[in-house]
Amino acid sequence: MWKLISAWFISGSFIFATCSNPRSSTSNSPGRDSMLPPVETSSANTDYPSAFAGQTRIGGIKTTNEYTTTVLTRELNKPWGIAVLPDGRLLITEKGGTMRIVSVSGNVSPAITGIPAVNAGGQGGLLGLTLDPDFQNNRMLYWVFSERMTDGNVTAVAKGKLSNDERSIENATVIYRAMPAYRGSLHYGGRILFDVNGNLFVSTGERSDMATRPQAQWLNSALGKIVRITKDGKPAAGNPFLNNSNAFPEIYSYGHRNVQGLAFHPETGDLWENEFGPRGGDELNLIKPGKNYGWPTITYGIEYSGGRVGDGIQRKEGMEQPVYYWDPVLSPSGMTFYKGDDIPEWKNNLFIGGLNSHHIARLAIRNNKVIGEERLLAKEGQRFRDVQQGKDGALYAITDEGRLYRIAKR
């Protein structure tokens, strides 16, 4: 049973800390005797059978190491993405089109200028960001945003240099646009990260509407995809469709709905993603080049109206199954694998920010299967938009409501 251990007033913000009962643990893999009932107790939207045991509603787990949760600030304006600077401070995007630097003590910088205009309507805005692997020397940033064009809106990628005084972005340039443009304001995807070869993985959405939804299956559309591009926005060498004249060469995987979480496993280097289902069917996927992840042909969700999606099927040859899915929804957004040693049982666990579910999901994974699930910060009532690990080993999470949390060993 978690206990609220303190609340105090600092710099105009109430700061809370929570912790578990102090116990010790040396394993990051829960044993069968320690498994709890599944954390999800609400009725599912469907009666669809899963493809394999443990694909959904796996047994619950409970963190036994003591940790604290602290609200560092409540002054952010719809934060969306976190990048960790070399000195440990956090560079955070805000949906309306600003970036700010926040210290680990919660001091928030003025808005950074020089960012190209974003279309912040609906689910659009300034979205995910990442630092150049050589940021310490070149100070380059890369970010995703929704851009208004003459014939609609697109998911776009830009790059620019953070000025030495940290007040502006210099020479901002758009390097990639996920075409075609569409006059809609939903499902932009928006996560971005570098791979070990210095290329960028970028997630897009299929823009939600029936008119664009089928394009998730099209190889001549960048909607509903994970793409891999160079720092200049060109298709990366080795992409699976590079030599296919009928496909966009930047495509890495397809058949996605709205990918808002990307992370590399710290030991295997595998790319994992999460994406929204409709009513139910939110997915966690292990991404392989050239693979088709099924949307909208197969899904474990239903339409918001209650009807079937397409033919209402969940499996089809040539389409990948999710490693895990949620019904009802997790509403998953930013995510990260825990790489620290402070809380040993979290080692290599995946942490996913939940929006409509108002918690952070902790997933223990073994042999590419989820073996346990826990809900963190469920009593906070927040929409968790992103979670990343800081230089100090702590987890940092932002919420749509403007909060920045620090989660660390007590």
Task: Return all residues near 291 (Cβ < 8 A) that are at least 6 apart.
Answer: 253, 254, 255, 320
**Burial class of 224 by CB neighbour count within 10 A (0 to 12, 13 to 18, 19+):** buried
From the candidates 187, 256, 265, 358, give the one annotated as an active-site residue: 187
Q: Would you kindly state where each structural domain of the chain is located, as residue ranges? A: 3-409
pLDDT of residue 27: 38
**Top CATH class, 3-409:** mainly beta
Q: Mean of the pLDDT values across residues 145-159?
A: 98
pLDDT of residue 31: 52
Tokens of 153: 């809106």
Task: Return all residues near 379 (Cβ < 8 A) that are at least 6 apart.
Answer: 2
Radius of gyration of the chain (CA): 20
Q: Mean of the pLDDT values across residues 10-24?
A: 35
Encode pLDDT of 323-362 as tens digits.
Answer: 999 999 999 999 999 999 999 999 999 999 999 999 999 9
Q: Mean of the pLDDT values across residues 159-171?
A: 98
Encode pLDDT of 283-329 as tens digits.
Answer: 999 999 999 999 999 999 999 999 999 999 999 999 999 999 999 99
The conformational region for residue 276 under phi > 0 = left, psi -120 to 50 = alpha, else beta, is: beta
Alpha carbon distance 295, 277 (integer Å): 9
**Does the active-site annotation cover 256?**
no
Task: Return all residues near 301 (Cβ < 8 A) that are at least 6 apart.
Answer: 45, 46, 277, 278, 279, 280, 281, 282, 309, 327, 329
SS (H, E, C) 194-259: ECCCCCEEEECECCCCCCCHHHHHCCCCCCCEEEEECCCCCECCCCCCCCCCCCCCCEEEECCCEE
* Local confidence band at 8 (pLDDT 50, 70, 90 cut-offs): very low
Please determine, for residue 46, whether its predicted confidence score (pLDDT) is greater than 50: yes
Alpha carbon distance 273, 287 (integer Å): 7
pLDDT of residue 19: 38
pLDDT of residue 35: 82
- Total length of the chain: 410
**In this structure, which amino acid lies at residue 277?**
G
Are 37 and 345 in contact by the 8 Å Cβ rule? The answer is no
* Local confidence band at 30 (pLDDT 50, 70, 90 cut-offs): low
CA distances from 129 to 157, 299, 330 (A): 9, 29, 23
Estimate to the nearest angstrom the gap between the alpha carbon of 53 and the chain centroid: 25
pLDDT of residue 6: 37
Please determine, for residue 34, whether its predicted confidence score (pLDDT) is greater than 80: no
Alpha carbon distance 399, 81 (integer Å): 10
CA distances from 290 to 242, 267, 361 (A): 10, 22, 28
pLDDT of residue 261: 98
How far is the first Cα of the chain from the last one, in angstroms, to the nearest whole number? 16
Pair type for strands 395-399 and 384-389: antiparallel
pLDDT of residue 12: 38
pLDDT of residue 168: 98
pLDDT of residue 158: 98
SS3 82: strand
CB atoms within 10 A of CB 34: 15
Tokens of 328: 């009802």
Tokens of 13: 């913000």
* Local confidence band at 20 (pLDDT 50, 70, 90 cut-offs): very low
Query: For tokens 């009593």, what's the residue?
Result: 379
Strand partners, 262: 273
Are 67 and 409 in contact by the 8 Å Cβ rule? The answer is yes
Alpha carbon distance 327, 309 (integer Å): 15
